[in-house]
Amino acid sequence: DVKVTQSSRYLVKRTGEKVFLECVQDMDHENMFWYRQDPGLGLRLIYFSYDVKMKEKGDIPEGYSVSREKKERFSLILESASTNQTSMYLCASSFGLAGVSFFGPGTRLTVL
Amino acid sequence: KQEVTQIPAALSVPEGENLVLNCSFTDSAIYNLQWFRQDPGKGLTSLLLIQSSQREQTSGRLNASLDKSSGRSTLYIAASQPGDSATYLCAVSFTGANSKLTFGKGITLSVRP
């Protein structure tokens, strides 16, 4: 059974902390994505990667960075967490230009 | 700007009803369109993917159609059940977007027993 896993389901952090969200997929997919989902705003793309060590900005990259050192792992980093980064974070992976996207279970991040 | 729209935002139907969820998109140059289901507080589960060359896809009680020329897709759910209650999202992979998906905001479906 194919799988995308995320390191935490729930996370509570303080303003100014550095936060790491990890995503791992076991399907040998080239593409990996980080989204955030907020009520009324839907899913918004933060960053994506189509190969190891490659990354591209999505629609809302400000305040975030990413790392992809291995094909199966894509990390989202909040350098200095702020309260407006409280959100549901979703990781996804896909194969090629037209493959099905598989999503992880999500991480509910609260920044106090 | 490439956009995906889903209207209405919410729908409530009695159990057993056949229903249609609509999705519209602004650009006919697409690779594919996917329909996802999301339960509260959970991730997204892919239901159906239609490639740009296809007209429809079926899985069990679900049937998705695609009309690129009019920029529309529909998800048909036959004989709805309370377990179908969830948010349904439509996502389009536009040509030239390098495998990125553009999502609609979803339709929250409630099936009443």
- pLDDT tens sequence across A55-91: 999 999 999 999 999 999 999 999 999 999 999 999 9
Confidence band for A1, pLDDT divided at 50, 70 and 90:
low
Query: Rounded CA gap, B24 and A74, in Å?
Result: 31
Chain B interface test: which of A103, A107, A108, A110 (most B C-beta within 10 Å): A103
- pLDDT tens sequence across B32-79: 999 999 999 889 999 999 999 999 999 999 999 999 999 999 999 999
**Does the pLDDT at position A97 exceed 90?**
no
Residues of B in contact with A99 (CB under 8 A): 99
With CB atoms and an 8 Å threshold, state whether A92 touches B44. yes
- The string of DSSP codes covering A55-85 is -EE-S--TTEEEEEEETTEEEEEESS--GGG
What pLDDT was estimated at residue B2? Answer: 87
Residues of A in contact with B44 (CB under 8 A): 90, 92, 101, 103
